[in-house]
Chains A and B, each alone.
Chain A
């Protein structure tokens, strides 16, 4: 295929407080693809997401539609990439609708003009409906539960209507129904021509909904490719140190972490 990648990262290194967090990560994302970013705690997933969103200094090259992202002005970049942080505090008790509407800020012609345009309010309405929050429209965000607030934040990121969405653990605090709902939504958005990178801890969701996976450990890529190639028992043992139960239901595989893999000192040292 001669499709020009929407986003590509080439040998990205990040160092924070003199600690090497990422050691040469490369990836490539085409239109319509959903890429799952996996790895144990502290593997560098969130750092990679931040580097891709240009929120951290990094070495290496990150390109969006062929252009180096460091050269793209901030406001233009905001219209290309929506970024959802892992967790944030709720801040001021503004209403759900207004919170989601903040996602439209990059589309205003100037920073000083108010937005009343139909297009903006339509985008906000669609985003709120997509995450199933229509009934909470008028509630202050501080009154929401953790899971509801997580969906409001996702709606805010969706309201920007960018070709690319970077979502850092969008489902980890959601109940099973909403986990599935959000993953189906992301899958559908990508089928409609957008693309996304999503950090996940749920291996079954990753395997079912993502086109490709990138498995990180200690700042390095351990495996990358289609879910079946990445989520092998060996990888799960070595990276996550778990033994998993793998099965199949309706022609889709599920992976259930079952027991801790005994970590002998020798195998630990091997991966340090």
Chain B
């Protein structure tokens, strides 16, 4: 009987998030400098060659709004699920992808690319460098995980790594050859979904997919970690393997997203925290809900900034940080759980 009350709320939450996501999808495709009604939207996507107007709408959707929409969902989902998985692994509600240094190392890779002007050689080089940054951070964290098994060591190493990457990024900005380069780097670091195409999505989608599968499959092991590391291991959880799975999953999904959109913070922190009570604090159930919730939040933030921006577009990373940072402070002050 009591089990039923537990299981009832959880599927409703996910269905609600999916419906919300579909509604926001519709809004996201409709709004913009050229407003497209729902019927025009369907026309443009189904009969693209019929008239001049549908052709124009089709162009706008395919070239601008659809990539932006899909990217918002991919990035939001990746950040949400990575945050949930890391918080489960470290049993700490303050963990998020930015904390273990994956985001900042990816950012560093991109900044290096911009600094040396490599991005002009090939459009693929910037995302590739960013992903390399994320991969190197991941390898280092895996190595640390293998030799010093504790989760606290992992958090602290992540903070050190993240600070180092931030310092090197600042150094690149400091020594940048021209103000234009500085502007390029800063704008990229702020994070945006603007002017992204299906090429960008093609680049990050396979990595995001593998990352999501890796993260989704560790639910039960994260549940077991609720009991503490030793008892979880006594239940058959291989802790180093779980650490590796989550770090690699986070690096793949978040690293490849950062590579395409720049750094977008705080989604991974805020979303799992908001949803946790709705899944009765089960780390496993939080994974899917956080992926959906992250996608909803990022899409909503993107829609909000598109509605608010006039000539100069507000950067998405700025919006999420503006919401996220005060929330982070609130969390720190309210925190009930200590570092295990």
In the complex, residue of chain B having the shortest beta-carbon distance to the beta carbon of A112: B217
- Contact at A93–B236, with CB atoms within 8 Å? no
Interface residue B91 (Cβ < 8 Å from any Cβ of A): yes
Interface residue B338 (Cβ < 8 Å from any Cβ of A): yes
- Contact at B281–A160, with CB atoms within 8 Å? no
Q: Given A91-B337, A94-B282, A95-B6, answer yes or no on A105-B236 (Cβ-Cβ < 8 Å).
A: yes
- Contact at B236–A74, with CB atoms within 8 Å? yes
A interface, over-half SS: mixed
Q: Given A137-B2, A138-B2, answer yes or no on A92-B235 (Cβ-Cβ < 8 Å).
A: no
Q: Please report the C-alpha to C-alpha distance between residue A95 and residue B220 in the assembled complex, in whole angstroms.
A: 16
Find chain A residues with CB under 8 A from B8 CB: none
Which residues of chain B (1-49) have a CB below 8 Å from chain A?
2-3, 5-6
Closest 9 CB pairs of A and B: A78-B236, A83-B234, A88-B228, A75-B236, A92-B281, A74-B236, A111-B220, A91-B226, A94-B281
19 contacts between A and B (CB under 8 A): A55-B233, A83-B230, A83-B234, A84-B231, A88-B230, A89-B228, A92-B91, A92-B276, A94-B282, A95-B2, A97-B6, A105-B223, A105-B224, A111-B217, A111-B221, A112-B217, A112-B220, A140-B281, A153-B227
Which B residues form the contact surface with A (CB < 8 A)? 2-3, 5-6, 91, 217, 219-221, 223-228, 230-231, 233-238, 276, 280-283, 336-338, 340
Q: Please report the C-alpha to C-alpha distance between residue A89 and residue B152 in the assembled complex, in whole angstroms.
A: 14
Q: How far is the CB of B127 from chain A (nearest CB, A)?
A: 31
- Contact at A99–B226, with CB atoms within 8 Å? yes
Q: Given A93-B281, A105-B223, answer yes or no on A78-B228 (Cβ-Cβ < 8 Å).
A: no
Which residues of chain A (72-127) have a CB below 8 Å from chain B?
74-75, 77-78, 81-85, 88-89, 91-95, 97-99, 102-103, 105-106, 108, 111-112, 121
Find chain B residues with CB under 8 A from A50 CB: 230
Q: How far is the CB of B296 from chain A (nearest CB, A)?
A: 23
Q: How far is the CB of A117 from chain B (nearest CB, A)?
A: 12
Q: Please report the C-alpha to C-alpha distance between residue A98 and residue B223 in the assembled complex, in whole angstroms.
A: 10
- Contact at A97–B223, with CB atoms within 8 Å? no
Interface residue A133 (Cβ < 8 Å from any Cβ of B): no
In the complex, residue of chain A having the shortest beta-carbon distance to the beta carbon of B87: A92
In the complex, residue of chain B having the shortest beta-carbon distance to the beta carbon of A82: B234
Supplied contacts A81-B234, A93-B281, A97-B6, 13 more A-B pairs, CB within 8 Å: A50-B230, A75-B236, A88-B228, A89-B338, A91-B227, A105-B224, A105-B235, A106-B235, A108-B220, A111-B220, A121-B3, A156-B227, A160-B235
Interface residue A199 (Cβ < 8 Å from any Cβ of B): no
The listed residue (A91, A103, A121) touching B235 by CB distance below 8 A is: A103
- Contact at A88–B280, with CB atoms within 8 Å? no
What's the A-B contact tally at a CB cutoff of 8 Å?
95
Q: How far is the CB of A163 from chain B (nearest CB, A)?
A: 14
Q: How far is the CB of B277 from chain A (nearest CB, A)?
A: 9
Q: Given A112-B219, A138-B2, answer yes or no on A85-B236 (Cβ-Cβ < 8 Å).
A: no
Interface residue A53 (Cβ < 8 Å from any Cβ of B): yes
In the complex, residue of chain B having the shortest beta-carbon distance to the beta carbon of A97: B2
- Contact at B230–A85, with CB atoms within 8 Å? yes
Interface residue A142 (Cβ < 8 Å from any Cβ of B): yes
Find chain A residues with CB under 8 A from B226 CB: 91-92, 94, 99, 102
Q: How far is the CB of A77 from chain B (nearest CB, A)?
A: 7
- Contact at A102–B235, with CB atoms within 8 Å? yes
Find chain A residues with CB under 8 A from B236 CB: 74-75, 77-78, 105-106
Q: Please report the C-alpha to C-alpha distance between residue A102 and residue B228 in the assembled complex, in whole angstroms.
A: 12
Q: Please report the C-alpha to C-alpha distance between residue A125 and residue B270 in the assembled complex, in whole angstroms.
A: 35
Q: Please report the C-alpha to C-alpha distance between residue A88 and residue B228 in the assembled complex, in whole angstroms.
A: 6
Find chain B residues with CB under 8 A from A82 CB: 234
- Contact at B336–A142, with CB atoms within 8 Å? yes
- Contact at A105–B280, with CB atoms within 8 Å? no
The listed residue (B2, B91, B238) touching A74 by CB distance below 8 A is: B238
Find chain A residues with CB under 8 A from B231 CB: 83-85, 88, 156-157
Find chain A residues with CB under 8 A from B283 CB: 92
Q: How far is the CB of B132 from chain A (nearest CB, A)?
A: 31
Q: Given A74-B238, A83-B230, answer yes or no on A98-B282 (Cβ-Cβ < 8 Å).
A: yes
In the complex, residue of chain A having the shortest beta-carbon distance to the beta carbon of B282: A94
Find chain A residues with CB under 8 A from B223 CB: 102, 105
Q: How far is the CB of B243 from chain A (nearest CB, A)?
A: 15
